[in-house]
């Protein structure tokens, strides 16, 4: 009997290590088919899950309450599982180099509790070679066993898009790879239990690792191109979105839009690829150039806020600026690596301490990561400038009457609106006479 057979008949268990935006949906999906242990070092998070609360909002409280996942922060419970999936974050250090500490810690915990005959699958985004050159040695050292003989290892990059209810775990094809054909077959069989559209079998773990960093680097470069165009069109007095709308009438146009590029994937993964390339003596040109452009968008937006305040005859240091959104993307509570922070930092250089409103973000996370206190939308008044930085549905639904009620009493051309994601009706805003700028 194969390991996948044992998992299917529930004589063996699956463990998910890391219950965040990736691990939680994965654990819930598997729990509908097999016996699942959900492990996370964060005791507070585990207690929330046990209480039926989903802090990620990816699956929802009702689903958490109904699932039969065994939530735990006790590492010894990992010894009960033979199929272990690592879904911990892979951030970058301040110098833009990979921070592999979460993956290394997870490998250490698993190694200490690894059972003979187990398969460990890594989903965390890494540069090619990490699974075999970094993770396997840790597993072997901690377990005292030999990979390929006593246990097997695989890689299956996560492809979940946080906040996206259309492209879900079940309908996104899964890339899978194993240390050998036996492990590849078992890994494929297990994932096919929950991936409705099937899996793609990569020829090696390094190919699977590379595919993940490349797909995000490709998106990063495409967005960087649109961001560069937006900066040029701003000088030309041309509306970038109108250009894109016209361009998209051609069948093979790529529908990318300018914006802030943060989060734990697109804003991070290219640095993993660049890091390994430079170790091999190749200095990236296109990828690093794209990163430089995207990392500079916060400052570009902030400078346009200042410019429009000046044009509206405002005293910059005395202006009351409110930023709508602190998460890294719309309709998602994830505040990690949000480039809205760059706008805030730049504004503070001009003596402006903006107020932040975000109905999706966790107030404690915002305070911990960026040192900002979230404001209540309903308590705002007498503002000079409103910045729509993140396109949450709550902001999209606001009427111009509601928006106007937030400003101090003055002429419309003295009321500044910065619409980063172009969520407002530009024609109406201009007709009313607001001082309006969009990316």
Residues identified as active-site: 265
Which three-class secondary structure state does DSSP give residue 292?
helix
User: Distances from the Cα of 253 to the Cαs of 240, 246, 256, in angstroms?
Assistant: 15, 10, 9
Q: Can you tell me the distance from the alpha carbon of 330 to that of 57, in angstroms, rounded to the nearest whole number?
A: 13
- Tally Cβ neighbours within 10 Å of residue 23: 26
CB 227 within 8 A of CB 67: no
User: At a CB cut-off of 8 Å and minimum separation 6, what does 251 contact?
Assistant: none
Helix/strand/coil for 207: helix
Yes or no: say if 382 and 355 are a contact pair by the CB < 8 Å rule: no
- Other CB atoms within 10 Å distance of the CB of residue 264: 20
Burial 308-334 (b: 16+ CB within 10 A, else e): bbeebebebeebbbbbbbbbbbbbbbb
241, with CB counted inside 10 A (0-12, 13-18, 19+), is middle
In whole angstroms, give the CA distance from residue 180 to residue 260.
41
- DSSP notation for 78-98: GGGEEEEEE-----B-TTS-B
The CB-based long-range contact list for 395-399 (8 Å cut-off, 24+ gap) reads 395/324, 395/325, 395/423, 396/423
CB 13 within 8 A of CB 7: yes
Query: Can you tell me which residue has the tokens 């709308």?
Result: 245
Q: Are the C-beta atoms of 154 and 184 separated by less than 8 Å?
A: yes
Query: Which residue in the block uniquely carries the two structure tokens 């377990």?
Result: 143
Look-up of token digits 């590849």 = 184
Nearest-10 Cα torsion for 350, 351, 355, 361 = 60
Burial of 236 (0-12, 13-18, 19+ CB in 10 A): exposed
- Identify the helix (H) or strand (E) that includes residue 182: helix 181-191
């Amino acid at each position: 009997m194969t390991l996948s057979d044992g998992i299917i008949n529930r004589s063996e268990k699956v463990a998910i290590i890391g219950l965040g935006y990736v691990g939680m949906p994965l654990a819930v999906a598997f729990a509908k088919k097999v016996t699942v242990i959900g492990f996370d070092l964060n005791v507070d998070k585990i207690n929330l899950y046990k209480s039926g609360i989903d802090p990620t909002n990816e699956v929802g409280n009702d689903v958490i309450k109904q699932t039969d996942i065994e939530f735990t922060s006790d590492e010894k419970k990992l010894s009960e599982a033979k199929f272990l999936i690592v879904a911990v974050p892979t951030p970058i250090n301040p110098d833009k180099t990979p921070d592999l500490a979460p993956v290394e810690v997870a490998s250490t915990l698993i190694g200490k509790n690894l059972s003979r005959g187990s398969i460990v699958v890594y989903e965390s985004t890494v540069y090619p070679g990490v699974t075999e050159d970094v993770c396997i040695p840790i597993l072997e050292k901690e377990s005292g066993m030999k990979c390929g003989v006593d246990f097997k290892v695989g890689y299956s990059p996560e492809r979940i898009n946080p906040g996206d209810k259309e492209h879900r775990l079940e309908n996104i094809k899964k890339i899978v790879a194993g240390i050998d054909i036996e492990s590849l077959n078992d890994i494929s069989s297990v994932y096919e239990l929950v991936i409705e559209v099937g899996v793609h079998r990569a020829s090696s773990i390094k190919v699977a690792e590379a595919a993940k960093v490349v797909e995000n680097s490709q998106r990063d470069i495409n967005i960087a191109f649109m961001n560069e165009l937006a900066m040029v069109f701003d000088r030309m007095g041309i509306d970038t979105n109108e250009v894109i709308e016209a361009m998209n009438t051609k069948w093979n146009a790529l529908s990318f839009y300018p914006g802030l590029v943060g989060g734990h994937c697109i804003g991070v993964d290219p640095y993993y690829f660049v890091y390994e390339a430079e170790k091999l003596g190749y200095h990236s040109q296109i990828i690093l150039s794209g990163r430089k452009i995207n990392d500079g968008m916060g400052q570009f937006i902030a400078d346009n806020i200042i410019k429009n305040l000046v044009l509206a005859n405002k005293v910059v240091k005395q202006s009351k600026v409110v930023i709508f959104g602190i998460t890294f993307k719309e309709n998602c509570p994830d505040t990690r690596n949000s480039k809205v922070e760059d706008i805030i930092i730049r504004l503070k250089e001009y003596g402006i301490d903006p107020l932040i409103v975000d109905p999706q973000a966790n107030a404690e996370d915002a305070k911990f990561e960026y040192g900002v206190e979230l404001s209540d939308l309903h308590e705002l008044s007498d503002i000079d400038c409103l910045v729509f930085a993140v396109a949450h549905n709550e902001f999209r639904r606001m009427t111009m009457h509601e928006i106007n009620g937030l400003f101090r009493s003055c002429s419309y051309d003295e009321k500044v609106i910065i619409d980063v994601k172009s969520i407002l009706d530009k024609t109406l805003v201009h007709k009313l006479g607001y001082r309006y700028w969009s990316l």
